[in-house]
Amino acid sequence: MKASSVDQIIIEFLQQNRQHYASHQIYEQIKIRLPAVNRSTVYRSLERLTNQGKISVSDMGTGVFLYEYVGEGRHHHLVCQECHHIIDISDEDVAPLFERIERKNSYEILTNHLILYGICPGCQTKPGS
Ligand SMILES: [Zn+2]
Ligand SMILES: [Zn+2]
């Protein structure tokens, strides 16, 4: 089996399911379509696609790396440290900040999936916090 076809199947799966998946969840999904695939092939493929910027990998505060398809536009998240609830932040809000940092430091930012940690409104009002 060619590695490139595994890449393709992973991309298709993540494109159709715009969520965050742990590597073992992706492996289980790919195994349904390619029963002969082995774990390390899938993991190597995830690493390659991440390096190519086609998928993002993030630690959302649970210690597990989560993969997601990166579409045409970047998107970002706010993650609650208490309940691990995740919401999306549009790139519109983040782009001006990135541009300013790029200008100041003469950098080209490649981060396409920014994770900001905080406490959600629900957890802020919980007694004892
Ligand atoms: Zn995301
Ligand atoms: Zn919360």
CATH number of 75-124: 3.30.1490.190
Rounded to two decimals, what is the model's pTM?
0.80
In the reported structure, the alpha carbon of residue 90 is separated from the centroid of ligand 2 by a whole-number distance in angstroms of 20
- Among the bound ligands, name the one nearest to the CA of residue 74: 1
129 has a pLDDT exceeding 70 = no
Beta strand 86-90 with 75-80: parallel, antiparallel or unpaired?
A: antiparallel
In the reported structure, the alpha carbon of residue 61 is separated from the centroid of ligand 1 by a whole-number distance in angstroms of 13
The token pair that represents 23 in the structure block: 């590597």
Q: What is the pLDDT of residues 39-94, one digit of tens each?
A: 999 999 999 999 988 999 998 888 899 999 987 778 899 999 999 899 999 899 99
In the reported structure, the alpha carbon of residue 113 is separated from the centroid of ligand 1 by a whole-number distance in angstroms of 6
Q: What is the pLDDT of residues 27-53, one digit of tens each?
A: 999 999 999 999 999 999 999 999 988
Confidence bin at 14 (pLDDT 50/70/90): very high
Alpha carbons within 13 A on the beta-carbon side of 16: 7
Q: What pLDDT is recorded for position 46?
A: 96
In the reported structure, the alpha carbon of residue 40 is separated from the centroid of ligand 1 by a whole-number distance in angstroms of 24
In the reported structure, the alpha carbon of residue 39 is separated from the centroid of ligand 2 by a whole-number distance in angstroms of 34
CA–CA distance from 67 to each of 46, 58, 123 (Å)?
Answer: 8, 7, 26
In the reported structure, the alpha carbon of residue 73 is separated from the centroid of ligand 1 by a whole-number distance in angstroms of 11
Q: Average pLDDT for residues 1-22, to the nearest whole number?
A: 89
In the reported structure, the alpha carbon of residue 26 is separated from the centroid of ligand 1 by a whole-number distance in angstroms of 15
Domains of the chain, by residue range, sit at 3-69, 75-124
Rounded Cα gap, residues 49 and 55, in angstroms: 6
The 3-state DSSP class for residue 66 equals strand
Rounded Cα gap, residues 89 and 92, in angstroms: 8
CATH number of 3-69: 1.10.10.10
